[in-house]
Amino acid sequence: MSAFPNPSAVQTKSVPTWRQQDAKPFVQIEQITKQFGQFTAVNSVSLDIYRNELFCLLGGSGSGKSTLLRMLAGFEEPTSGRILIDGVDMTGIPPWERPVNMMFQSYALFPHLSVEANVAFGLKREGIKSPEVNKRVAEILNMVQLGHLAKRKPHMLSGGQRQRVALARALVKRPKLLLLDEPLGALDKKLREETQFELMRLQDELGITFVVVTHDQEEAMTLATRIGVMNNGEIVQTAEPHEVYEYPKSRFVAEFIGNVNLFDGTVVEDERDSVSIQSPDLDALLQVDHGISCAPNQEVSVAIRPEKIYISREPVDIEVNGATGIISDVAYMGSQSVFKVRLASGKELRITQPNVSREMGSRLTWEDKVYLSWDADSCVVLMS
Amino acid sequence: MMSETTIDKKTRRFAWRLSELRLGRAAVILVPMLWLAAFFFIPFLVVFKISLAEAVIAIPPYSPLLQWDSSSAYLTFKINFGNYLYLFESRFYLDAYLSSLKIAAISTFFALLIGFPIAYLIARSGPTKRIILLALVILPFWTSFLLRVYAWMVLLRKDGLVNDVLMAIGIIDQPLQILQTEFAVYLGIVYTYLPFMILPLYTSLEKMDLNLIDAAQDLGAKPYQSFFLITLPLAKTGIIAGCLLVFIPAVGEYVIPALLGGSDTLMIGRVLWDEFFQNRDWPMASAVAVMMLIVLVGPIMYVRNSNKEVE
């Protein structure tokens, strides 16, 4: 894709821009608030997005992620705060003058125009001469493998084809920033996976900065360079995907992304390199060994991911970071099994285990008494 | 194993169901067909028959097509094309048709011009406001059409409200002659048929996905461009339907030109009325009516075909 400028896509691979100290953000969102009457959709959000990022805004419905995206596109003006794109203040700049294009969740293809005319629409508005328009339209349609359908109307296309037209229509203008609203929402599972990789490839090739809005944590995990988790109009955590999963900052993030077992407890011992926490749900102490600072007697939650708990019928040391229980439920899911284990306190834990063996005989089953244990560095202490 | 008889039974039962289905479908179509036949096609044939007769002073005031003369034992079958020939010979009728088409076309244009923003506003309003606005559009139908035209006469009179207000503001110092002008006819037609324009326009605008406007603007279209390139083409079916619903009845309109128009406002509806009741020339009046239908069939067929293309 020589037609697209691609200045720094490759060299930033080694050290991501957002981890560099003096990197200049490409999109700066400064203290943005959006109110609809009494309702605050977006509450004082600040966010920096860097060039060539594929940034995911992840949140449930009503979390404000779509409103934030619409403010980037210029469909909504923020009540207060401002947005800078490539250093330019976007306040008061209408959508048709912004260096931004958006791919809509419903695709919003113009039903009365052919695929070709849909894609050419944006170029014609720029006043580009028609030979150049035709060339660029053909080029982008070939890239998304729709060259043979150029004359069709949108209603004659399948869902996946429409989605690619929408993508082509947004990309053909070579925007500095591409916004995607739930880009994979309407596709079936197989097509989603293909498109996910397609998007990542495009982003790599074209060097456009992507901002993706999604409610699907799996989508965010696979696509994103970084994820901004939104809740109630605020960004509650911004981090790389593995960080959001392994080191969630709050109960909300831990529970929203993936499954998690949570213990409420009190800090009983705070040493230099570990913290001990007593939970009423657990006989043993919880010991966490990585850097957190908290005061004795502080109320905290401890999160442990289901796949980080070892489960076994054989007795193991459970004096710290362990428990015994009875298997109350088993779900066989092919590559892994999910167990629910009821502890003496009545609390149920969720544990997943890869199905390493094909034999059914040795497998754990209902009513088995099991020993659970986990490593001290598997626990995350959550203050909020 | 399935014996042949059971298969046969099954197919027969299936065929019977199918015929039952067809019968049901036929019954559904039959009712409107009967309605059309009873209230449109048969009366039209009667009118057509009369148009081929000669005016006589009798009851009914036209000559029969078939006549049995018992003395000479002649059965005469007499068709008179004179009325149709006269339609083309006399400048008067041609002028009346052209004037009607002109008045209807201009009225339709203004109804579209006024109706579109109203329909647009209603379609983009919130659900509660939308119901109120739609009710306001339909509300005039609760009063008799004739009454509303009389009300306009009162308003437009020399000492009517319109002139009073204009004089009070000081725009004019002599009352304007509004009533009995062509302007009053346009006003009356646009006012009367505006709801028929607004409702189909509203339906097509309301169906439109608003994301399309956002998408157009996102791709660099200024608001007027997104209106002309997206909104207007997508409202095409509504525009066509609305224009037909205004244009067709406006061509044959009688009451409005009779009450609001002057003697120089020539419209085919009035000509028809005069032929019928003033001249008591039923055959000529019928010929005028038949010709009007033929004139209107043209645009209707055109629109039907262009609609098929859209689909």
The reported pLDDT for the residue numbered A2 is 41
Residues 226-245, chain B, touching A (beta carbon < 8 A): 229-230, 233-234, 236
Give pLDDT tens digits for A124-155.
999 999 999 999 999 999 888 889 999 999 99
Residue of B nearest to A179 (CA): B218
Q: What is the ipTM for the molecules in this complex?
A: 0.81
- State the DSSP H helix or E strand holding residue A299, giving kind and residue range, or none if neither: strand A299-304
CATH 3.40.50.300 intervals, chain A:
11-99+175-251
The per-residue pLDDT for A24 is 87
In chain B, % of residues over pLDDT 90: 53
Mutate to test the interface with B, among A72, A102, A136 (most CBs of B within 10 A): A102
For residue B311, what is the nearest residue in chain A, using CA coordinates? A112
The pLDDT score that the predictor gives to residue B131 is: 95
Tell me what pLDDT residue B78 has: 84
Q: Work out the average pLDDT over B73-91.
A: 88
Q: Checking phi first, is residue A266 left (phi over 0); if not, alpha (psi -120 to 50) or beta?
A: beta
Predicted pLDDT of residue B144: 92
- A8 falls in which pLDDT band (50, 70, 90)? very low
B221–A173 CB contact, under 8 Å: no
- Read off the pLDDT of each residue in A360-383 and give the average, rounded to a whole number: 86
- Among the residue ranges A262-271, B94-103, B145-154, B195-204, the one predicted with the least confidence is A262-271
Give the residue range(s) of CATH 2.40.50.140 domains in chain A. 259-382
Q: Do A125 and B221 touch (CB under 8 A)?
A: yes
Residue among B269, B273, B249, B268 nearest B190 (CA): B249
Q: Closest CB to A108: pick one of B212, B222, B233.
A: B212
* Residue A351 scores a pLDDT above 70: yes
| pLDDT band (50, 70, 90) for residue B7 | low
Residue A310 CA to its chain's centroid (Å): 28
- Planar angle of CA A150, A118, A52, nearest 5 degrees: 100
Per residue in A85-98, pLDDT tens? 999 999 999 999 99
Query: According to the model, what pLDDT value does residue B210 have?
Result: 92
Segment A28-42 shows an average pLDDT of 94
At A335, the pLDDT band (50, 70, 90 cuts) reads: confident
Q: State residue B75's pLDDT score.
A: 86
Alpha carbon distance B10, A328 (integer Å): 53
The confidence score (pLDDT) of residue B264 equals 83
Give the residue-averaged pLDDT of B230-254: 92
The predicted pLDDT at position B6 comes to 66
Selecting from B217, B219, B225 the residue whose C-beta is nearest the C-beta of A173 gives B219
- Which pLDDT score is estimated for A58? 94
Both tokens assigned to A286: 């919880």
Cα–Cα nearest to A119, from A128, B74, A90: A128
Cα gap B214→A169, rounded to integer Å: 14
pLDDT of residue A218: 84
In chain A, which residues have their Cβ closer than 8 Å to the Cβ of B230?
Answer: 110
Check if B211 contacts A (Cβ < 8 Å). Answer: yes
pLDDT value of residue A14:
62
Q: Lowest-pLDDT range, A196-205, A281-290, B99-108?
A: A196-205
Kindly state the tokens that stand for A275: 């913290």
Mean pLDDT of chain B: 88
**What HEC string does chain B produce?**
CCCHHHHHHHHHHHHHHHHHHHHHHHHHHHHHHHHHHHHHHHHHHHHHHHHCCCECCCCCCECCCEEEECCCCEEEECCCCHHHHHHHHCHHHHHHHHHHHHHHHHHHHHHHHHHHHHHHHHHCCCHHHHHHHHHHHHHHHHCCHHHHHHHHHHHHCCCCHHHHHHHHHCCCCCCCCCCCCHHHHHHHHHHHHHHHHHHHHHHHHHHCCCHHHHHHHHCCCCHHHHHHHHHHHHCHHHHHHHHHHHHHHHHCCCHHHHHHCCCCCCCHHHHHHHHHHHCCCHHHHHHHHHHHHHHHHHHHHHHHHHHHHHC
Per the model's pLDDT, the better-predicted residue between A192 and B187 turns out to be: B187
Q: Inform me whether the pLDDT recorded for A222 exceeds 60.
A: yes
Residue among A112, A133, A179 with most chain B CBs within 10 A, to mutate: A112
User: pLDDT band at residue A361, thresholds of 50, 70 and 90?
Assistant: low
Tell me which chain A residue has its CA closest to the CA of residue B219. A122
B42-51 helix and B282-310 helix, angle to the nearest 10 degrees: 130
Euclidean distance between CA atoms A257 and A241, whole angstroms: 10
For tokens 């944006």, name the residue.
A122
Question: Given this model, what pLDDT does residue A194 score?
Answer: 78
Range with lowest mean pLDDT among A19-23, A215-219, A235-239, B179-183: A19-23
Domain spans, chain B = 82-310
In this structure, the strands spanning A88-89 and A27-36 are unpaired
Q: Which residues of A touch B233 (CB under 8 A)?
A: 112
CATH 2.40.50.140 fits A259-382, yes or no: yes
Report chain A residues whose CB lies below 8 A from the CB of B236. 112
List chain B residues with CB under 8 Å of A96. 217-222
Between chains, do A108 and B214 touch, taking CB under 8 Å as contact?
yes
**Average pLDDT in the B219-241 region?**
94
**Distance between CA atoms of B218 and A113, rounded to whole angstroms?**
17
Residue A218 Cα distances to A66, A258, A331, A333, angstroms: 18, 9, 20, 17
Which residues in chain A touch residue B225, judged by CB atoms under 8 angstroms apart?
125
Instruction: With a cut of 70, say whether residue A381 has pLDDT above it.
Output: yes
- Of all residues in chain A, the percent with pLDDT exceeding 90 is 55
Of B211, B221, B222, the CB nearest to A108: B211
Whole-number pLDDT of residue A200: 78
Record the tokens describing residue A20, joined without a space.
Answer: 């560099």
Separation of alpha carbons B58 and B77, rounded Å: 19
CATH topology of domain A11-99+175-251: Rossmann fold (3.40.50)
Distance from CA of A155 to the nearest CA of B (A): 11
B6/A162: higher pLDDT: A162
Model confidence at A12: pLDDT above 70:
no
Residues of A whose CB is below 8 A from B214:
73, 75, 95, 102, 104, 108
**Which of the two residues, A6 and A300, has the higher pLDDT score?**
A300
| Minimal-distance CA residue of chain A relative to B211 | A108
Whether the pLDDT of residue B10 is over 80: the answer is no
B221/A75 Cβ within 8 A: no
pLDDT at B266: 87
pLDDT in tens, B200-214: 999 999 999 999 999
Are B220 and A108 inside 8 Å of each other by CB?
A: no
> Per this entry, what is the length of chain A?
384
* Contacts within 8 Å (CB) and 24+ apart, B158-163: none
Q: Is pLDDT at A3 greater than 80 in this prediction?
A: no
Look at residue A5 in the predicted model and tell me its pLDDT: 44
B215 touches chain A (CB under 8 A): yes
Q: For residue range B27-50, list pLDDT tens digits in order.
A: 888 888 899 899 989 999 999 999
pTM to 2 decimal places: 0.79
Question: Across the interface, which of B209, B220, B225 has its CB nearest the CB of A108?
Answer: B209
Q: Do A96 and B212 touch (CB under 8 A)?
A: no
pLDDT recorded at residue B139 = 92
**Measured between alpha carbons, how far is B172 from B122 in angstroms, rounded to an integer?**
35
Q: Which two tokens stand for residue B220?
A: 């660099």
The whole-number pLDDT of residue A4 equals: 44
Those residues whose C-beta lies under 8 Å from the C-beta of residue B3, and which sit 6 or more positions away, are none
Q: How far is A121 from chain B (nearest CA, A)?
A: 7
Q: List CB contacts (< 8 A) between A94 and chain B.
A: 217
Contact: B221, A111; criterion CB under 8 Å: no
In terms of pLDDT, which residue wins out, B76 or A240? A240
pLDDT band at B309; cut points 50, 70, 90: low
Least CB–CB distance from B218: residue in A102, A111, A112: A102
pLDDT at A7: 43
For residue A123, give how far its alpha carbon lies from the nearest alpha carbon of chain B (Å). Answer: 8
> Which of A67, A121, A126, A133 to probe by mutation at the B interface, max B CB count within 10 Å?
A121
Average pLDDT, chain A: 88
Q: Residues B226, B217: contact at Cβ < 8 Å? A: yes
Q: Which CATH number fits domain B82-310: 1.10.357.140, 3.40.50.720, 1.10.3720.10, 3.40.50.11260?
A: 1.10.3720.10
CA B144/CA A190 separation, integer angstroms: 63
CA distance A285 to chain B (A): 55
What confidence score (pLDDT) does residue A1 get? 39
